[in-house]
């Protein structure tokens, strides 16, 4: 007969439990700080901005009179910039991630490259703006165009994109690769038929999250020449442009309070855009997860 030992030993049980509860409360408070700050911000913006949200606001161009001003050019500019950025950055990042994970010899050089990528992810975005101004606007002669802006954002999000794609590729189980290699598949066939299909949801999620970071960027785009006051929508990648965050910045730096309300309206639209992108990332991930 084994004596049961499930009763709380005197002195230890309740005290341990109290300590556990205190820890839970502390963690709860930490969470509350973040949530509360966000709620205050949201309330402030919604109070200021909801009033200006109408079709005039979404379809109007920038204007000197607040009642006629809108975000049409900024919205179109943001859409152009994000579209171009993803079209350039996604294939480059995926290629780099596949190379680093599947092909690159494990050595000093690869480690150096890897460390550099991680470092680049922490470089302030204004530095990328300077690079963009020097390389794309001046050297390459692309001018203050959408293309210059998209290329600048591309190098800005590449490190994050490469790292997240690498992680997705690394999470593909080794057994699957070995099974495919064991059947006489070449490295490319293993990548194409086993690794990429399994890594794709993760790569896609990372891409959307990186892109939503690009959507909120302002500083580097100011440097490459985006301007706050544009009265037309871009027709091609070589046109001048503005983007939502820049339009918000332009409005908020004006003295009149009517423009501050417009800025709040712009923030609401930008938040909705970011929320939609993050939701898309979650939906895509879940859909792929269910399918396999």
177 binds another protein (CB under 8 A): yes
Q: Which is nearer to another protein, 9 or 289 (CB)?
A: 289
Contact (CB, 8 A) for 250 and 196: no
**In the range 233-292, which residues lie near another protein by CB under 8 A?**
292
Binding mask 56-95 for another protein (x = CB under 8 A): ----------------------------------------
Contact (CB, 8 A) for 215 and 273: yes
Angle, vertex CA 47, rays to CA 269 and CA 43, nearest 5: 85
Distance CA 282, CA 151 (A): 27
Q: Which is nearer to another protein, 182 or 255 (CB)?
A: 182
Distance CA 37, CA 218 (A): 22
Helix (H, G, I), strand (E, B) or coil at 217: coil
The values of phi and psi at residue 20, to 5°, are: -60, -40
Q: Which is nearer to another protein, 59 or 186 (CB)?
A: 186
Question: What DSSP character marks residue 67?
Answer: G
Least distance between another protein and beta carbon 179 (Å): 5
Residue with tokens 């690159």: 104
Least distance between another protein and beta carbon 173 (Å): 8
Contact with another protein (CB under 8 A) among 180, 222, 267, 270: 180
CA 24 and chain centroid, separation: 31
Least distance between another protein and beta carbon 198 (Å): 7
Q: Which stretch binds another protein (CB under 8 A): 179-187, 200-208, 220-228, 248-256?
A: 179-187
Residues that bind another protein (CB under 8 A): 106, 173, 175-186, 189, 193-194, 198, 292
């Amino acid at each position: 007969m084994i004596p049961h030992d499930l009763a709380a030993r005197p002195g230890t049980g309740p005290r341990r439990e109290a300590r556990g509860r205190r820890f839970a409360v502390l963690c709860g408070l930490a969470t509350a700080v973040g949530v509360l700050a966000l709620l205050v911000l949201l309330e402030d913006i919604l109070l200021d901005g909801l009033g200006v949200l109408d079709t005039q606001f979404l379809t109007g161009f920038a204007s000197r009179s607040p009642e006629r001003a809108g975000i049409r050019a900024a919205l179109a500019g943001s859409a152009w910039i994000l579209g171009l950025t993803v079209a350039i950055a996604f294939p480059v990042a995926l290629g780099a991630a596949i190379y680093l994970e599947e092909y690159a010899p494990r050595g000093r050089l690869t480690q150096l490259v890897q460390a550099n990528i991680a470092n680049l992810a922490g470089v302030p975005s204004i530095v990328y703006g300077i690079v963009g101004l020097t390389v794309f606007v001046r050297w390459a002669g692309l001018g203050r165009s959408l293309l210059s802006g998209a290329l600048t954002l591309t190098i800005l999000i590449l490190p994050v994109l490469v790292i997240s794609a690498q992680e997705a590729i690394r999470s593909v189980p080794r057994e699957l690769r070995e099974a495919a290699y064991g059947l006489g598949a070449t490295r490319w066939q293993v990548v194409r038929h086993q690794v990429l299909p399994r890594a794709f949801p993760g790569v896609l999620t990372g891409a959307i999250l990186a892109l939503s970071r690009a959507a909120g960027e302002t500083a580097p785009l100011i440097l490459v020449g985006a301007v706050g006051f544009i009265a037309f929508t871009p027709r091609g990648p070589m046109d001048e442009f503005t983007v939502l965050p820049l339009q918000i910045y332009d409005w908020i730096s004006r003295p009149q309070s009517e423009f501050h309300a417009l800025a709040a309206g712009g923030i609401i639209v930008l938040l909705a855009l970011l929320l939609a992108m993050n939701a898309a990332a979650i939906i895509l991930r879940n859909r792929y997860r269910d399918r396999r």
